[in-house]
Every structure is written in C-alpha cells, then in structure tokens.
Chain A
Amino acid sequence: MGGSRFQIDADFQSEKCVGDTSSAGDADRISRLPDDILLDILSLLSLKESARTSVLSSHWINLWKHTPSLDFDDAQASIDKLYNQPDLRKGERRKYMRWVDSVCRSHESPTLKEFKIRFPINRSTRNAKSIARWLRFALSRRVRRLELDVEDLYGSSSKKCCFLNKLLNPRTLVDFGSLKELMSLNNVDVSDGTIEFFLNTCPLLERLIVRFSKQMSRLEIYGPSLVLKHLEIKFCLGLESLKVSVPSLTSLSVTSLNGLSLENVPMLVDLSVHVVDDNTSLYRLFHRLLSRCISQLQTLHLSLSNIGFSSAELDELWELPQMPRLKKLVIEYCHKWYLYPREDRQQRNEYAIIKIPHRHLKVFEFRGYYGCSNDAGLISYVLENCVVLEKIIIDHCFTLGNSDSESKKWKKLQERMRNKSLHH
C-alpha cells in the first residue's frame, strides 16, 4: 500500500504492520494506481459509493475524502415515499442533516468543484443555521458550482428560510467569489436585493438559476462587466418585472411576464419561455416584450402550461413573428393531460395561416402531442413548409392504440413523415 500521500489513521497502520504478513501481491493492481487517477475514478461514483470504498482496504480509507465533488442528492426518493408519515419524515430529515454534517466534517479536499444539497428541509431557525454552516463550508473550500434545493412540499412553508441572512450578515460575511460555473437556488426565498448582491460578489459567475422564490418583485439583472452566459428565473410567484441587460448572455429561460424587458443582450441566441396565460398574451410577448431580440434567436422553446387556449390565443401561437435565424423550435404542452378529457382542447380554425418561420428551421420538436386535429395540423404545416427541416421529434402524451381513430391518425402522420424523409 505504498505511495499514498494521504494520512491513514495511526491505529490502523501500526496494527497492520504487526498483523498482516501476507504479501501485497501483484494482483492488487488497482490500489497501486496513482491517487490522482483513483480520485478521478471515485469522482464518477455517487458520494455513497465512493465513500463505501473506504471499507475495501486501508489504502482506500481516506481516498474518498479528497474527491472534489459533494453531491448530497440521493436521499430524495426515500423521503418522497414517506409523504403521509410526518414522524418518519422528521427522522429522515434529521438523518440527512447529520449525514451532510458528518461528511463536511471529515472531507479533506481543499477545493470543491461542486456542492449540491437537495432535500426538503423545513424552515426552522436550527435548520437555517445548518444550511448556513454547509454553505460556509462549501464557500471556504472555494466551491465553483453550488446547487441548493430545499423544497418542503408537505411541511409548513409559512416560515421564511432565513439562512441567507446569516451568510449575508456583514459581520460574518463569507466570500462568494469562488462561484464561477453555477449558482442554482430552488425553493430558496431570495429577494431582489440578494440576487443583485450575489451578482456583485460573484463577478465571474457564468450560470445563475433561481426557481420558486417567493420574495422577488422587481428584479434587475444588468452590468456591462458581468460574464453571465446562462440565466434562468422561473416560477417566482410575486415577480412583477424582470429587466435583463447583460451583453454576455447567450441563453435565457423565463416565465412569461408582463414586466419582462430585455435590453442589451446582443449575444442571446437561445430563449426558453414558460407561458402562463394569466400573465401576458403570446402576441404581447413576441411583438412587444421580446421584439428586440427575436430576430437573433437560433433556438426557441415555448412551454405552454395552460390547456384552455381560446381560438384567438391559438392563432397567436401560429403567428409567431419571423425569426430568420431560428434553427430549432420546441413547442411543449405541459398540461396534465390525464386530468382533462381530450375534447377540452379547442379546435383551431383549420384555415388560419400559420406563419412559422421556416427558412432555416432544421429541428422541430413537439412535446405533449395530444393527438387532436390542432396538433396534427401544426405538424402537417411544418412538414409542408419548413424546407430545410432535418429532424422532427414528436413526444406524444397518450397511449397509442387506445382508440382506432387515434392510431389511424398517428399512422397517417408517420406515413407522411416517412414520405417527407424520402424527398430529402
């Protein structure tokens, strides 16, 4: 077991010298690989699996403590199973928190590539202290990617999770400057001011993701010196306006919003909008709010969460403005299709003129294909009019073969797609 640069517990080492007389043998090739290579291998395993290697032999006992990635993500499933058993959930939660604490205590890597927490933690003061402690640990190890998701679906969520206040307290302020690759906050209540603070203190951050924060109202993301490339602000109830002016931004993902304003985004090519119908109309979204950047887009992803489109709104969807550079268009219906009878979707006027921009469109993806004539009509149009189309992906959300008419329609569509591919 020669050559390890890691400390092995003195107890084990001295006992081993006395107790173990069998030859090391040439067979144990893997343990003789350089530690750097073994760490590369361990980094590819889950945290639990990589730490389990400590039991293999004394050579491995401390290796896992030097892996650069801490992903505390594999406990979610166990707590999901306990959704109606609050006492057991409480036990699982305590166990999770002890687990994170003990790993943070024993981990020895001076720098971290990734630190990821995903667990429903209820928002008591004590838990806030724990989360603040973990983040302080991760930031003290110069973490580059930080992901935090502390949703508590079943517990009381009236209390605010105030761990960020602890971190942002000027007296105990920690340095966020190491965050370069990613900061992702899910179900963490961050205010406008906090986000602006983060951007000021993480000048090298490339990706920022905030979902399900209830405390934001008027957010402004701007700064000529930011290097932000990807920004996602989604499902933040209470957010009234979002102003984005970041010259380096290439990819943006937002929920539709009346107060959306994109100003200086010359590099933006990839836009994803989750359209919520009670916020703003598609027409206003594309012809007013996004009009400034629409002509430069190469990828557009529209998620439509509502099911009750009026005919007028559907027509709006077919009348997207011209997007001369668009290469990929994704339309996704995110409805809970099993909750609604199929007839609920309104019939689109078959004769409406669809103005999908089509000169450069190579990939068309339709998720949540529902099998009604609206859907089939859209695909027919794309097949007819997108002259350089290379790929069409249809992800249907019904079981094929349920009824004869559905499978006939589907077969017909497949037939047309095959014919289309023969032409090219």
Chain B
Amino acid sequence: MAAETGTPTTLTLKSNDDELFSVAESAAILSVTIRNMVEDGCAGGVIPLDNVDGKTLASVITYMNGISAIPADEEKKKSYRDKFLSDKDFETLADMVLAANYLNMSCLMDAVSAKIAQVMEKKSVGWVRRKFGIENDYTPEEEAAVKEEHKWTFEGVETDDDN
C-alpha cells in the first residue's frame, strides 16, 4: 500500500506500529469513526489509529477499497465479503473484528462475527475448546454441575464423542 499524497480525497492513516497508509476518503468513511473525524475537520494530517496494527489495517483497507468499488448490490457485496474472509485464520479474524469494532464498521463486524459463529456451529464443547484454545478452568465437579444446569442444550447433539 504505497502512500501517495496531494489529492484532497486521500486520507493518511497511521497504525499503532507507525505504518502509514493512504486510502481514498470515499472508501475510508465506511468507518464511522473516520467519517466523524472527517466531518469534524480533524482528518487534515495523519489520522492515528491507536488500536490497530499495520498488518490488520492493511487488511481492513483492502476490504474498504474492495467493498466500496461494488455498486449498491447487496448480493455482490455479500459474496465479496465471503470471499475476503474465506482464507483468514482465527487470529486474523479476531484482530479484524476488534479493528472493525474500534473503527465502527458494522458491515465488517457482522461479517466476521458470522464467520466465527459459523465455525462454532454444530460442534461439540470439546471441539470448540480445542479449535479456539479455550482453557477449561472448571474442576470436573463444576463442569458436571454446569452441564447438569444446561442439560437441555445437549439434547439432539450428534457429536457426543468428547463434549
């Protein structure tokens, strides 16, 4: 993402590890956070984004450019989002959802949340723990008690091997 300067419709964004990115204002204002800055006239120089690292910001900007190039056609936008997220691992998705949250980009947030939910869907507790590295801090007695209290959530679950 080479920085270009000069044109009035280009904004410069700075990640928390000091990488600079230039992006068309029309694409960047997909972020409500950035749009508010632009509207308040605070977007003249470099816009520091303290909660987003360079790698994630590069990815978010790719998304901003990609989605804003698609005319108002929700189906095409959805298929772009699906394709954009298809090869991302969970670490990247987690970075991205945090960045989308910070930048207030609801369309990206919804898409990433849906992607994560899709991974969890119809999986056993054990599988989800392993997949996401969730540490089980229950004692066996506690776990049995929680399971008993939520017995109804296990009805009709096929994958009972290791839950």
Determine the residue in chain A with the shortest Cβ distance to B110: A40
Q: How far is the CA of A173 from the CA of B109 in the complex (A)?
A: 40
For chain A, give the interface size range.
Answer: 35 or more
In Å, the complex CA distance between A49 and B143 comes to: 17
Interface residues of B in 78-113 (CB under 8 A from A): 90-91, 94, 97-98, 101, 109-110, 113
Q: Apart from A31-B132, A52-B157, what are 19 other A-B pairs with CB-CB below 8 Å?
A: A28-B132, A28-B135, A30-B134, A31-B134, A33-B97, A33-B98, A37-B101, A42-B117, A51-B152, A52-B125, A52-B150, A53-B120, A54-B150, A54-B153, A55-B138, A55-B150, A57-B138, A74-B156, A102-B152
Residues of A within 8 A of B150 (CB): 51-52, 54-55
B137 at the interface (CB under 8 A from A): yes
B133 at the interface (CB under 8 A from A): yes
The list of the 7 closest CB pairs from A to B, nearest first, reads: A27-B133, A44-B117, A52-B153, A30-B132, A40-B113, A51-B153, A48-B153
Bound-state Cα–Cα, A9 to B107, Å: 35
Q: Is B120 a contact partner of A49 (Cβ separation < 8 A)?
A: yes
In the complex, A391 has a CB within 8 A of chain B: no
What is the minimal beta-carbon distance from B145 to any residue of chain A, in angstroms? 9
Q: Which residues of B are at the interface with A, using a C-beta cutoff of 8 A?
A: 90-91, 94, 97-98, 101, 109-110, 113-114, 116-117, 120-122, 125, 128-129, 132-139, 142-143, 146-147, 149-150, 152-157, 163
Whether A22 lies near B90 (C-beta < 8 A) is: no
Chain A residues near B129 (CB-CB < 8 A): 56-57
A48-B134 in contact given A33-B97, A41-B120 (Cβ < 8 Å): no
CB distance from A118 to the nearest CB of B (A): 16
Would you list 24 pairs from A and B whose C-beta atoms are within 8 A, ordered by A residue? Answer: A1-B137, A15-B139, A19-B139, A29-B90, A29-B94, A30-B116, A30-B132, A33-B94, A33-B98, A37-B109, A41-B116, A41-B117, A44-B114, A44-B117, A51-B150, A52-B150, A52-B153, A56-B125, A56-B134, A57-B129, A59-B137, A60-B134, A99-B152, A102-B152
In angstroms, Cα B155 to Cα A31, docked, is 25
A415 within 8 A of B: no
Interface residues of A (CB under 8 A from B): 1, 12, 15-16, 19-20, 22, 24-25, 27-31, 33-34, 36-37, 40-42, 44-45, 48-49, 51-61, 74, 78, 99, 102
Contact A58 to B97, CB < 8 A, known contacts A29-B90, A51-B153, A78-B156: no
- Chain A residue nearest to B91 (CB atoms) is A29
Could you tell me the distance in whole angstroms from the C-beta of B94 to the nearest C-beta in chain A? 5
Partner of A55, one of B113, B135, B147, B156: B147
CB within 8 A of B128: which of A19, A24, A44, A56?
A: A56
- Contacts A16-B137, A49-B153, A55-B150 hold; do A34 and B116 have CB atoms under 8 A apart? no
Chain A nearest CB: distance from B82 CB in Å? 15
Given contacts A48-B153, A52-B154, A56-B125, contact A22 B135 (CB under 8 A): yes
Across-interface contacts of B154 in A (CB, < 8 A): 52
> For residue B114, which residues in chain A have a CB less than 8 angstroms away from its CB?
44
- A24 to B, closest residue via Cβ: B135
Which of chain A's residues have a CB closer than 8 A to the CB of B156? 48, 74, 78
Max chain A CB contacts within 10 Å: which of B101, B134, B139?
A: B134
Closest-by-CB residue of B relative to A106 is: B149
Bound form: Cα–Cα A161–B146 in Å: 36
**Chain A contacts for B142, CB-based, 8 A:** 12, 15, 58
Contacting pair B90 A45 (CB below 8 A): no
Nearest-CB residue, chain A, relative to B152: A99
